Amino acid sequence: MLSSMITLAAAAGSSNLEWFKELVNRFSVPEISLPLFFLPLFVLLLVAYKVWTRPLFAGTLLVLFCVFYFGSMAIDENYRAIVMKPDNVPITMMLLGVGFCLWWGFRQAAINDERIKAGQPLIEEDKDDKVLVWPDLVYTELICMVIAATVLIVWSVLLPAPLESPANPAGPPNPSKAPWYFLGLQEMLVYFDPWMAGVVLPGMIITGLIAMPYIDTNPKGNGYYTFAQRKFAITVWLFGFLILWVVLIVFGTFLRGPNWNFFGPFQYWDAHLQVPLTNVNLSELFWGDLLDRPLPANPYVREIVGIVFVFLWICVLPYALARTVMRKMYEQLGSVRFYVMAIHLVVMAMLPLKMVLRWTMHLKYFVNLPEINLNL
């Protein structure tokens, strides 16, 4: 029933919307959509949070999103196949959940920030403070549980769990993908080798998260929603979560096809598509393009620019930050806290840096030492 309606609508819509699909396909490549769409959207989210969180405004955004996201299923079968793939359905739920919760949190932050400015009590401050767990909390929990159980059962009735053909160790599917919640990491493989994307970066996500409460010494914003009082912390954290995690998951699941080539949302996943690999290493750019000389034989001499650059980026940049733009923060935090924070920050920033260099200069590796399996 639902699918026949979609097919009907598809027949009606497909004919004259080719220009739209073409436009979206072209626009969605990461080098365009990340800097020109997702990044500005992220900035707007933070700068204009008092505006877009108004219920009417946010409701309109939700409707627009749904029209675009679900409406596109009616006009294109490639897109429909991706979104309706059983193991991708949770991604839609995740996107709606993250969007809704962002609104919920920032709405209260907006109200609280207004109240703080006006010297009024926060939403969370109640005069008659305590209530009994029975019935107030226990009943809320019960209702949440019943709703969650219902949703889970309905979901399970509607959508069978996928089961593909039996495992065949000799025949990998193309593309082979990790479960969707790890696809941010798999997408990072485009820019980094597995030891970075699969080991160092996830490791530093974990250590960074654990270290966070000890680094963030700002006493404000403890136990209530606010943005104005915690701008730096919230900006960095949400940039990591929304852009470097959620958006990369969407790229990795929806927009990466055979051979990990990029495909627009309305593009057919053509397994024979040949994309020439034109990426070059920093050493080649330096010795070849800049000095016009052959690559030196000694690998460490060959890679010297990259090695120096990585050293500067990871070891010297935090120090430079402490001395200049982040001087005040350095003084507040002390050296241990500051350097733990700064090293996590510059390593995290390597990902966007590498992206930009890839898009602009086709940079493959800063340092390319196959001799010891070390490529960065």
Partner 1 sequence: MISPLLNYIRSTQVWNSIFRHGIPRDRRTRVMAVMSNVFLHLHPVAVRKSGIRLSFTWCMGGLTFFLFLAEAISGVLLMFYYRPVVEYAYADIQALRSYVTLGLLREIHRWGAHAMIIAIWLHMMRVFLTGSYKPPREFNWGVGVILLVITMLLSFTGYLLPWDQLAIWAITVGSNMGKATPFLGTGGPLSDMLAIGGVPLVTARSDAAYLLLANTSVGENTLMRFYVLHCIALPLAAATLIAVHFWRIRKDGGISGPL
- Residue 164 or 292: which CB sits closer to partner 1? 164
Instruction: Determine if 101 is a binding residue for partner 1 (CB under 8 A).
Output: yes
Query: Of residues 24-53, which lie at the interface with partner 1 (CB under 8 A)?
Result: none
How far is residue 242 CA from its own chain's centroid?
4
Binding of partner 1 by 125 (CB under 8 A) = yes
219-258 binders of partner 1 (CB under 8 A): 219-226, 230, 234, 237, 241
- Min CB(238)–partner 1 separation in Å: 8
Judged by CB under 8 A, does residue 132 bind partner 1? Answer: yes
Lookup: tokens for 258? 């055979």
Residue 130 or 293 with smaller CB distance to partner 1: 130
Which single residue is written with the structure tokens 């220009």? 19
**How many other C-beta atoms lie within 10 A of the C-beta of residue 288?**
14
Q: Binding to partner 1 by residue 134, rule CB under 8 A?
A: yes
Nearer to partner 1, 24 or 246 (CB): 246
| Piece in contact with partner 1 (CB under 8 A), picked from 43-51, 71-79, 214-222, 348-356 | 214-222
- Does the protein bind partner 1 through residue 87 (CB under 8 A)? yes
Count of residues of this chain found to bind partner 1 when the rule CB under 8 A is applied:
94
Query: Rounded to an integer, what distance in angstroms lies between the CA atom of residue 34 and that of residue 356?
Result: 10
Round the CA-based radius of gyration of the chain to a whole number and report it. Answer: 25
By CB under 8 A, the residues from 141 to 200 that bind partner 1 are 141, 144-145, 148-149, 152-153, 155-157, 159-169, 171-173, 176-179, 181-182, 185-186, 193-195, 197-200
Taking the chain, what is the end-to-end CA distance rounded to the nearest angstrom?
51
Q: Residue 374: which H helix or E strand, with range?
A: strand 374-375
Residue burial 72-106, b: 16+ Cβ < 10 Å; e: rest: bbbbbebbbebbeeeeebebeeeeeeeeeebbebb
Nearest to partner 1 of 27, 214 (CB atom)? 214
Tokens of 285: 């750019």
